[in-house]
Amino acid sequence: MQQIVNFLIKNKTFIVFLLLFFFSLFLTVQTHSYQKLKFFNSANWLSGNIYNKTNQISDYFHLKEYNKQLVEENIQLRKILLNKNIDVKDSTLYKDSLYSDYRLYSANIIKNSYNKKRNYLLINKGENDSISQDMGVITSKGIIGIIENTSTGYANVQSVLNSLSEINASVANTDNFGSLKWNGKNFRTVQLVDILRSANVKKGDTIITGGMSSIFPKGIPIGTIEEFSLDASKNYYLIDVKLFNDMTTLDHVYVIENLNREEILTLENSIDE
């Protein structure tokens, strides 16, 4: 305490000067509009820059949270695309709706193979996250595969790059449907078969899901026609489809649940019986 008193006594002249300086500055700002405006503009500039830098630092540490929010927003946007018959202005879009045919879940790929005959992916969502067998898996670019089996926290996805894979597909803007398969040769291309010779196909045409199954809705992108030729019977095309997705650099995916799947399967089974 004595040290503080000694400091004040020793520097009393300078301290009095500072007090008088700030008091005069205060009076100048208060009594002159120009100086007052300049002072507050300078203060706002300084505080604005401080808050901006602080916000940038805060944003950096909240990137994971912001990315999660963007993923959720993307889910809602993709729900609009999948449920085109829903009024976009209807707020029920942003919750589970009785009028919605599809529900989407986000997931991350934690393991991926693409250089085998039968390739699979592993995602970090499972039964605890409402993921079940035979749900479709896509990215913002197009299809990835189909859920084959699940555990409580994970799920295996049968990749489109799997010799056992068979997905209903069609040439966009036509009524030509076929089956999407993979010959095991090139991870960038898959094959579309059973397209009639009478179909008007050409290189660059877009291939989409056909909607003739309870897994994928119609219109999910797959790729474009790279090459095509006639099969041995000369009645059907063999089409090489260049995938929109780069299957070697996958990270985030969406899992599609068809809310009407059980009803559709029950009806199909009754017909088969």
Q: Are residues 261 and 139 in the same domain?
A: yes
Query: Cα–Cα–Cα angle for 6, 12, 15, nearest 5°?
Result: 120
Same domain, yes or no: 75 and 142: no
Q: Determine the structural domain holding residue 96 and report its residue range.
A: 66-100
CA 138 to chain centre: 9
47 and 181 both lie in a single domain? no
Q: Would you state the pLDDT for residue 91?
A: 36
| CATH code, 225 | 2.40.10.340
Closest CA to 256 of 75, 97, 73, 71: 75
**pLDDT digits 0-9 by tens, 64-92:** 665 665 676 577 666 666 665 444 344 33
CA 152 to chain centre: 23
CB 218 within 8 Å of CB 208 = yes
At residue 2, the pLDDT reads: 64
User: Of 100, 124, 147, which residue is a domain's last?
Assistant: 100
Report the pLDDT value the prediction gives residue 92, as an integer from 0 to 100: 37
Q: Are 262 and 101 in contact, with CB atoms under 8 Å apart?
A: no
Q: Is the same domain home to 193 and 96?
A: no
Counted domains in the chain: 3
Regarding whether 180 and 72 lie in a shared domain, the answer is no
Could you tell me if 117 and 243 lie in one domain? yes
Are 109 and 84 in a shared domain? no
161 and 194 housed in the same domain: yes
Q: In angstroms, rounded to a whole number, what is the distance separating the alpha carbons of residues 141 and 120?
A: 19
Q: Which residue has the tokens 């996250």?
A: 129
Same domain, 169 and 114: yes
**Same domain as 155, residue 266:** yes
Rounded Cα–Cα distance for residues 37 and 30 (Å): 10
Contact 117, 163 (CB under 8 A): yes
Contact residues for 98 (Cβ-Cβ < 8 A; gap 6+) = none
Residue ranges for the chain with pLDDT beneath 70: 1-9, 12, 21-70, 72-73, 76-100, 272-273
Cβ contact 136:146 at 8 Å: yes
Beta bridge partners of 122: 111, 156
- 153 and 54 in a single domain? The answer is no
Same domain, 243 and 203: yes
Cα dihedral 175/134/248/117 (nearest 10)? -90
Q: Which of 100, 124, 149 is the last residue of a domain?
A: 100
